[in-house]
Amino acid sequence: MSAAVPAWDVPLADPDVVRVPGGWIAYGTGPVEDGRAVPAAVSTDLVTWRGIGNVLEALAPESGESYWAPEVCERDGAWWMYYSVGHDDRGHLIRVARADVPEGPFRDQGVVLTPHERFAIDASPCRLPDGRWWLFLARDVLDHERPGTHLAGAELLTPTTLGPVHEVLAPYDDWQVFAHDRPMYGQVLDWHTLEGPHVVVAGEHLLLTFSGGSWQGEGYRTAWAWSRSPEGPWTVPGGGEDVLLRTDEEFIGPGHDSCTVGPDGRPVIAFHAWDAAGTGRYMHLRELEVEVDGPHLRVGGPVGGAAR
């Protein structure tokens, strides 16, 4: 199991791979080092990667020491990073940082985009065909038959201003249980998790990919849904056809993806998976086919050819 060779030989959880002038940059989750968070690497071909260190200037320690799941976009002549920060796995809220170039340094803009949420992570910006921007995210919801972390979204009115938050997708299947009898918010709950939303435009539809279950184990999966509007409704295919990635002979706990475009113009999906020893989550890249019946990994191994 986990026979696939990662795209980069350094752990990079929650990879966001972004097309930039001259190539691509991958941002991800990692420890704070020398006052900076968010490790990053660059590539000119999606095959060979070179680390450039951490690119986000860290906040004061009272804001948190855990920086999770950054995603970056270009808008209004600048580069914007959306990320969450908290203490370990508690108290995370979404913030925004700005840089003049995609290599950073990114500087926090002093704005908490989700001040009214209990917990919010995995912010993902998307530019819609009509020119609007939306920010998709994951947040904790208690008043539901499947309490846990659900998917939501809101219009990103300016790079630092979020409109009203709308429900996007609630947990809908038992494979999305993070843990049974989990102590949360003064209760003991069967806690469900949907996280890592990422939306791309696919013809007349919006394609949402997301992960569910516990990121810590083999049950973690990546699934998909579609809609004609960010406000929904979002449709999940039935009969088990919602799952795009799951543990198999190549990957252990594959998930938390992003999408980009390869050198030949084909869609590429980036995601992390555990190494065989369970010591780290590494970035993998695969070509993605988006057809009328949904997205599929293109047969043929990693981007750039056979497994190295």
Predicted local confidence at residue 308, as pLDDT: 32
Predicted local confidence at residue 299, as pLDDT: 76
Can you give the pTM of this predicted structure? 0.96
Predicted local confidence at residue 168, as pLDDT: 98
Domains parsed from the chain with CATH numbers? 13-299 (2.115.10.20)
Predicted local confidence at residue 307, as pLDDT: 38
The pair of structure tokens assigned to 5 is: 């060779």
Do residues 147 and 141 make contact, with C-beta atoms less than 8 angstroms apart? yes
Predicted local confidence at residue 34, as pLDDT: 96
Predicted local confidence at residue 240, as pLDDT: 83
Predicted local confidence at residue 123, as pLDDT: 98
Q: Give me the average pLDDT of each 10-residue run along the chain (308 residues).
A: 85 98 97 97 97 98 96 98 97 98 98 97 97 98 98 98 97 98 98 98 94 96 96 92 95 97 94 96 95 81 57
